[in-house]
Amino acid sequence: MNRRDILRRSAAAGLLATPAAGLLAGCATSGGDDKSDAGTYKGTKSEQNPLGVKDDAPLEVVIFNGGFGEEYAKSHEAMYKEKYPKAEIKHSATQEINKTLQPRFVDGTPPDVVNNSGAGQIDPNGLVSQNALADLGELLAAPSLDIPGKTVKDTLLPGAVDVGSYDGKFLVMNYTYTVYGIWHSTKLFTERNWQYAKTWDEHIALCKQIKAAGIAPWTYAGIHPRYMSWPLISTAIKLGGPSVALAIDNLEPNAWKSDAMKTAADAWYQIVKDKYILEGSPGLDHKQSQTAWCQGKAAFISCGSWLESEQKDVTPAGFNMTVAPTPSLGSGDKLPFEAIRGTAGEPFIVPAKAKNVAGGLEYFRTMLSKKGAQDFTKKVASLTVVAGTTEGVELPFGLTSVVKALEASGSNGFNWVYNNYYRKLERNLVDAACGEFFSGRSTPAEFLDQCQKGADSIAQDSSIKKYKRAA
Amino acid sequence: MRHGRYPLIVSFLLPPLVLYGIFVLSPYLQAFQISTTDWLGYSAQADPVGLANFRTLLHDGYVWNALKNNAILLALVPVLTIALGLFFATMLTMGGRKGRAGVSGVRGTSVYRLVYFFPQVLSVVIIALLWKEIYHPNSGLLNGALRALGLPAPTWLGDPRFAFWCVLAVMVWSNVGFYVVLFGAAMQAIPRDIYEAVLLDGASRAVMLRKITIPLLWDTVQVAWIYLAIAALDGFILVQLMTNGGPNFSSDVIGNRMYDTAFGSETKFGYASAIGVVMFFLTLSVAVLALRAARRDRIEHS
């Protein structure tokens, strides 16, 4: 056998090994029947133990090791163990929730608590439609661990329960509270004597002024252009009221082409037409665009309240980032300027087939206690869904502005959930449409058409479970 | 000595074969089975749906779009990579001007060889991130150079006209080095006296390459062809990291479609497996066709 033969034969072996068709089955072998709940842990319910935790039952927690790290979870686990010293807690953290846990879901042996987050998150619709999640309703009705006289539900910020609810059942506990808005540097604005604009006309005038000063008014993540759909939809909701979002979430026919959406798209097209976007933005990813913004190359960027901690390493000292609501279109707006999109994020779940479901719920009760929530806010500088737990906690500049914006917004806050119901719609289809629109390759009408076509394709796909929400 | 052979063969071959069977072949067979179900991936429940997934696939515009891109990759990546690989290897082994028998490399051959091979040492992930910065529309190396020359600076990865070609260029770049070394090694095995003989007959370098080197290298080129064709049907890691298939699906490839269907935007494992099965047959047919098309009479030298 000579060298060439060896090469040729290894090529033949490579043939079988290279294509990735086996990959899916390789990491997720189907098999194993539905297991009965013979092996689950149940304790006796009492006033002290409203969820019926078996005090010596082990608890397994899997945390997404992302922007928040895993330290916060370790201290929540310590609090749990304080109450149930006999319980053995198994903690693990991963960046790839999906790949790590998918086989265990199939096998019927999932962990008790999962922080289902990050880019490798498991599609919530996939879990919900396959009845893989435990109902968390009991948790909401249980008394709060350390806020006397209130149930867990009473302690939560508005909208915290809706986001994790599917057809009225509370299945996903979203722990952080995220505000989505337009960000700018107070330092830059003070230096230049600029004022954040409250109406769209003023905003355009300000953009003109900023551009004249040699700075690009806007930048965005061209590789993930859906970031720009957030202010655009927010503008439409402030104009037309929360029903605009409701129609989109419920996949109503022509929801994307409502008058409010049309007006909002036309308004936003102005910044594209007048070239108020940093040149090259369509080629940047989120980190690159946020960094350009931190370097003062652009004045505005659309992002959620995780922005401050995500940019911690590259933000210059004294940059003082501030979040603000989208400008109002005019006096006809249904919601005031202060109204801002706020929603619960960072999803936690208890799998339906977890051995220690009661323990999982009790762990959530620990997280949602005042002590647990304050500890989290202190450790990772993010708000939780538990109301009023920031008192006495020193917050960084950006997060302080988030708290202020939330207070100003009050009961006018709004949100949409189509991205939770149908991840593909936001991540693939609306994303692609935004890319075309904000790079100036499509018109507002074409943009809305493309979004609507995406929504229609989801509506017609019988393999995707549909959800409806009421106002 | 024959009686001692079988225990040896069994003990050396059986464990790898068993591992191969468990970790490569059995997932393949399962992928075929899963592709005929509506399995959604997070419960054990999967109902057989026959060939419904493949029927859906036939009408899935996104899949066809991705396949179209793979077809372009298939047509261009092997040709460009092999042509560049042959060119550089020739320069390195016989591009020099030393002596009449002109079969030595250009000066600094060993350094060049090292430099060419360099991308092969880097993980694909690093290559993708590296090039993402090179293509950075504002602070990237490429646009910096273009601006210095007074040329327009496009938003490479953000423009549907360019994104796909940018990824293709990286794919060729990251592969060429390996084939330079491979072809170079094969060229060194060609006896020098053949070259000396044709040089005495007055052959030019181009004729030498066409009539002597390539025919004698043909087996190696064929192997390269098959490998590159398979790589062209994949292209997943570069696309996923550099553009994620965008903008507006302009740089999507079939591997990315499969990943996105299973882990990205939805969790349709049955459907994703069907895409995987299609990939399997495509790769297989491409390899068989490449072997057939590249078959030639073998030229032996001894």
Interface of B with A in 157-176 (CB under 8 A): 157-160
Are A123 and B266 in contact (CB < 8 Å)? yes
Check if the beta carbon of residue B287 is closer than 8 Å to that of residue A15.
yes
Between residues 10 and 49 of chain B, which touch chain A (CB distance below 8 Å)?
Answer: 23-24, 26-28, 30-31, 34, 37-46
Taking residues A56-82, what's their average pLDDT? 92
Delineate the domains of chain A, giving CATH numbers in brackets: 59-177+343-400 (3.40.190.10), 178-342+415-460 (3.40.190.10)
A229, A304 in Cβ contact below 8 A?
Answer: no
Mean pLDDT of A196-217: 96
Share the mean pLDDT of chain B: 87
- Residue B184 pLDDT greater than 50, yes or no: yes
Spatial CA neighbour of A189 closest among A312, A304, A298: A298
Q: Coil, helix or strand for A280? A: coil
What would the mean pLDDT of A229-247 be, rounded to a whole number? 96
Residue B15 in domain: no
pTM: 0.85
**Does B96 fall in a domain?**
yes
pLDDT of residue A33: 43
Q: Residue B138: which CATH number? A: 1.10.3720.10
Compute the average pLDDT of residues A422-442. 94
* Nearest residue, CB atoms, A24 vs list B31, B153, B159: B31
Question: What is the model's pLDDT at position B101?
Answer: 52
CA-nearest of B292, B157, B272 to B229 is: B292
What range defines the domain where residue B179 resides? 36-294
* Amino acid B278: pLDDT: 93
Is residue B85, in this structure, part of any structural domain at all?
A: yes
Q: Which residue, among B234, B240, B238, has the nearest Cα to B255 in the 3D structure?
A: B234
What is the distance in angstroms between the Cα of B206 and the nearest Cα belonging to chain A?
A: 25
Q: Does some domain include residue B188?
A: yes
Question: Number of C-alpha atoms within 13 angstroms, CB side, residue A256?
Answer: 22
Is it the case that residue B28 has pLDDT exceeding 80? yes
The structural domain count of chain B equals: 1
pLDDT category of residue A443 using cuts at 50, 70 and 90: very high
Instruction: Assess B266–A contact: CB distance below 8 Å, yes or no.
Output: yes
Nearest CA in chain B to A31: B44
B9, pLDDT greater than 60: yes
Q: What is the DSSP letter of A283?
A: G
Residue B45 has pLDDT above 90, yes or no: no
ipTM at complex level: 0.82
Check: CB of residue B227 under 8 Å from CB of residue A14: yes
Query: What is the structure's pLDDT at A380?
Result: 85
Q: Which two tokens stand for residue B48?
A: 């057989």
Domain assignment present for B1: no
Q: Which of B17, B22, B29, B42 to mutate to test the interface with A (most CBs of A within 10 A)?
A: B42
Q: Among A29-33, A131-135, A227-231, whose mean pLDDT is lowest? A: A29-33
The 10s digit of each residue's pLDDT in B198-236 is: 888 888 878 888 888 888 898 898 889 888 988 888 889
CB B240, CB B258: distance < 8 Å: no
Question: Who among B39, B157, B266 is closest to A30 (CB)?
Answer: B39
Length of chain B: 302
Q: Does A441 touch chain B (CB under 8 A)?
A: yes
Interchain contact, A32 vs B159, CB within 8 Å: no
Mean pLDDT along residues A180-209? 96
pLDDT category at A11 given cuts 50, 70, 90 is: very low
**Nearest CB partner across the interface for A132, out of B42, B155, B159:** B42
Q: Which of A99, A105, A423 sits opposite B266 (nearest CB)?
A: A423
Residue B284: inside a domain: yes
Q: Does A110 touch chain B (CB under 8 A)?
A: no
Tell me the per-residue pLDDT of A300-352, one tens digit each, with 9 for 90 and over: 999 999 899 889 889 999 999 999 999 999 889 999 999 999 999 899 999 99
Round to whole Å and give the CA distance between B82 and A309. 47
Instruction: Flag whether residue A460 sits within 8 Å of chain B, measured between CB atoms.
Output: no
Q: What percent of chain B has pLDDT over 70?
A: 93
Could you tell me the pLDDT band of residue B139, with boundaries at 50, 70 and 90? confident
Tell whether B40 is covered by a domain: yes
Residue B302: inside a domain: no
Nearest to B246 among A130, A223, A463 (CB): A223
Q: How confident is the model at residue A24 (pLDDT cuts 50, 70, 90)?
A: low
Per-residue pLDDT at B102? 55
Q: Are B42 and A130 a contacting pair at CB < 8 A?
A: yes
Q: By percentage, how much of chain A surpasses pLDDT 90?
A: 69
